[in-house]
Amino acid sequence: MFTPERRAILAASLLLALTVGASRAETPNLGKPLDEAAIANWDISILPDGAGLPKGSGTAAKGAAIYAEKCSACHGDNGKGGLSAALVDDRQNTQIAGISASQKTIKSFWPYSTTIFDFIRRAMPFQQPRSLTDDEVYALTAYILAENKLIGAGDTMDAQTLPKVKMPNRDNFVIRFPDRI
């Protein structure tokens, strides 16, 4: 027979064993703890609501100059396309017709303006990714949006204004397998 005291200890260790067994298999714990400040330089994900957008701002006028210097060699004069995709769609009617991906221009297809900032900052220019300042990325984003007539020519893009830009095709998406999310 166990004394009440021993029984309590046994019950406690059994509970501990069950808890450990059920929710937390023993793992090596070899990860090095970091704080978000240490990760900040890598943390370049921008969410559609603007979360993650850095300080800074830019206008189309500033963006035009940066574009001519660092982007036009591949994307063509004024974003009309060249070796790489066109960034500006000046068709009157940008309605999707047919299933070809050639219609997936920023203006006709992209659902969120934040994607432009996110992609430029992480991947462009192709030969020197991560070389642009945040102000330059805002300016290029403003330039592309303004050339596509999605914002006014003088509008400033920053962490507050960019997520508010309404993209024309935003509501035309259907989640393929909702149960997988």
Partner 1 sequence: MATSRDRDARGKALEAVAGNGLIDRRALLGRGMVLAGAMSAGVGSAAAGAEPLADDPWSLEVGESTPPYQVPSKFEAKVARTLSNPNNEPRNSHARTPHHLLAGTTTPNGLHFTINHGGVPTIDPDKHRLVIHGLVKQPLEFTLEALSRYPMTSRVSFIECGGNSAPMFSPEAMQENVQAIHGLVSCAEWTGVMLSTLLEETGIDPRAKWFVAEGADSPHLSRSVPVKKALDDAMIALYQNGERLMPGNGYPMRLLLPGYEGNMNVKFLRRIKLVEQPAMSVYEARTYSQILPNGKAYQFYFLQEVKSFITSPSLGATLKGPGLYEISGIAYSGTGRIEKVMVSADGGQSWAQAALQEPVLSKAFTRFRMPWRWNGGPATLQSRAWDEAGNVQPTRAEFVAARGELTKPPPVLGFPNQHYNSITSWGVASNGEVKHVYA
What part of residues 45-104 is at the interface with partner 1 (CB under 8 A)?
45-49, 51, 74, 83-84, 95-104
Residue 9 or 133 having the CB closest to partner 1: 133
Of the candidate spans 1-9, 19-27, 60-68, 145-153, the one that interacts with partner 1 by CB under 8 A turns out to be 19-27
Q: In whole angstroms, how close is the CB of 54 to partner 1 at the nearest point?
A: 15
Determine which residue in the list 7, 122, 149, 166 makes contact with partner 1, applying CB under 8 A: 122
3-state secondary structure of 136: helix
Residue type, position 82, single letter: G
Binding pattern for the stretch 127-166 against partner 1, x by CB under 8 A and - elsewhere: x-xx------------------------------------
Place of tokens 């024309």: 168
Q: 48-52: long-range contacts at Cβ-Cβ below 8 A with a sequence spacing of 24 or more? A: 48/111, 48/112, 48/114, 48/115, 48/163, 49/163, 50/114, 50/159, 50/160, 50/162, 50/163
